[in-house]
Chain A
């Protein structure tokens, strides 16, 4: 009797749990589907109920978005910048994070504190000083080379991206390194491996889940970044989020809603694909702050 009631209660609780989970899932899937369906609507369909289904497949939006807003070209700029920034960031952040997590040295506390403080600096207000600094370098470059090389340069943009995301990346990575057992390194040292070899061949492979997490996080940040790209790339070469602005609605102009949503989908799609490809690893690498030993 008692167990029966317990069983019912158990079932009831389960049902509630499922309802909650499914409700949240629906609240995510429906809007996602909505964005895709908006991207193939004709302009006239945007007046009226936003939740109505598209009347037909208006693929013209995609052609318009790619041609009118040159999203095709911007897409490749974005791919280049994102890839280069990630490479730079990982190459610089991993050794630093490893050393900060594992070695005691003079100045470690202050370096840690600096990177910690860096977490609270928001790029939205340091972007102009960065720009002014690059401008000064440009003036010097003019004198020596006869041309400015620091602005309108995708490589410089990548360096700035990598640098401004160092604090967060080092923070996550060094937390993960701390959770790894020291016995692996000790074994490597006994085998006579150098610090460098140990880091590269023993510790980095072990930190792979965390590195993958960091790559995904930063991929999102770089891919969607707007304000730095806008300021440091004043010329016609643009990244995708900056290019997208030209599709936005303007006051006093007839709106072109379809291509706008198409642009959003074009920006969103690579991220979705990358996420679905890496999502299994994501959970493993997200361990932060936990101490396992």
Chain B
């Protein structure tokens, strides 16, 4: 769209956003990169340049590696589980004549608007050993043989308990997104398929999925970003990273090192890794999922 005066218009529209972005995001990010090269406790003026030492230490820090593994596990499982449930429910709500569709749509979104403190309080009460909701139900059904499941105490289980809370929190958000995307698919496509004898599953695979593919791809990026962030907030209040660091994730470990262990520079090195990792992962996912855009 070439037109006279468009240059001034374009740059005056972009300039304010770019300026704020540069000052409050690009510059601080660069300083994070810079501080990752220092040994610094974070409070005093005593600061030593150590080059890439912090990154070298990271490579054999098994606690960091565990937080890395946990984060990857969380991103993967939260994405797969949430995505499948959200898409299926969205499809059902859009395609089937469900009574109270509106009600379900409103309710399913609610967990997404709750603050993490509320979610953590709720799941603490759900996961508690003796009087928790799940163990309570289990004992009701099997009063003699029930042994408490230690959702937050068993190191092999605790990450999955965090994942459970995250899925619960995210389903509605992604469901509404997929519904919005599915809602714009013209119904005549489905009608034609029905005449050809395609059942629901076929219709979903042949029509719905290809047509919402771009939306799915975009949400994959959201999953990566939000999983890293939400897992940190949730772990902080729900488990404190415990037991013995079993539920530690990227950012919670960053905090523990930067503040509790007086290794601010090291914490920032973790920050750099988190940034590069999530950026690269999103690029990779986006590349792998690239398909020709199907239009209708």
Contacts and interface: CB of A to CB of B under 8 A. Distances in A.
CB atoms of A and B under 8 A apart anywhere in the complex?
yes
Interface string A249-293: 000000000000100100110011001100100111111111110
Interface stretch (A53-61, A66-74, A121-129, A140-148): A121-129
B30 to A, nearest CB: 8
Contact of A51 (B92, B133, B177): B133
A283 B28 contact: no
Interface residues of A, number: 88
Interface in A27-50: 27-29, 31-32, 34-35, 38, 48-50
Contacts of A271: 113-115
Interface in A99-131: 99-100, 102-105, 111, 114-115, 117-122, 124-130
B59 interface: no
Contact of B293 (A20, A111, A159, A291): A291
Contacts of B128: 50
A31 B126 contact: yes
A35 B109 CA distance: 17
B279 A122 contact: no
A163 B23 contact: yes
B162 interface: no
B116 interface: yes
Interface string B24-64: 11111101100100000010000000000000000000000
Candidate in B105, B112, B114, B176 with the most chain A CB atoms within 10 angstroms: B114
B198 to A, nearest CB: 15
Contacts of A1: none
Contacts of B3: 189, 195
B109 A282 contact: yes
Contact of A288 (B10, B28, B218): B218
Interface in B212-252: 212, 214-215, 217-219, 221, 225, 228-229, 232, 251
Interface string B151-187: 0000000000000000010011000110111011000
B131 A244 contact: no
Contact of B107 (A17, A29, A127, A182): A29
Nearest to B267: A125
A170 B115 contact: no
Given A121-B275, A129-B28, A264 B121 contact: yes
Nearest to B99: A18
Contact of B10 (A21, A99, A194, A244): A99
Candidate in B20, B104, B105, B217 with the most chain A CB atoms within 10 angstroms: B20
Nearest to B30: A129
B91 to A, nearest CB: 10
A243 to B, nearest CB: 12
B279 A92 contact: no
Nearest to B280: A120
A130 B31 CA distance: 9
B122 A35 contact: yes
A291 B98 CA distance: 28
A51 B131 contact: yes
Interface string B125-155: 1101001110010000000000000000000
Interface of chain B, main secondary structure: helix
B121 A35 contact: yes
A92 B181 contact: no
Given A17-B92, A25-B107, A28-B110, A286 B115 contact: no
A267 B118 CA distance: 10
Nearest to A276: B106
Contacts of A166: 17, 20-21, 25
Candidate in A96, A185, A244, A287 with the most chain B CB atoms within 10 angstroms: A96
B108 A28 contact: yes
A22 to B, nearest CB: 9
Nearest to A261: B121
Interface in A215-264: 220, 224, 241, 244, 261, 264
Contacts of B106: 276, 279
Given A14-B96, A267-B115, A129 B214 contact: no
A120 B278 contact: yes
Q: Which 9 A-B pairs have the closest CB atoms?
A: A163-B24, A95-B13, A129-B28, A96-B17, A289-B218, A125-B271, A286-B180, A126-B28, A289-B214
Given A17-B96, A105-B10, A287-B181, 10 more contacts: A28-B108, A51-B125, A159-B24, A163-B25, A196-B9, A285-B180, A288-B177, A288-B181, A288-B215, A289-B181
20 contacts: A24-B108, A25-B103, A25-B108, A49-B131, A96-B18, A99-B13, A103-B1, A103-B10, A115-B21, A118-B26, A121-B29, A128-B42, A175-B218, A264-B115, A268-B115, A272-B113, A275-B110, A283-B105, A283-B179, A290-B184
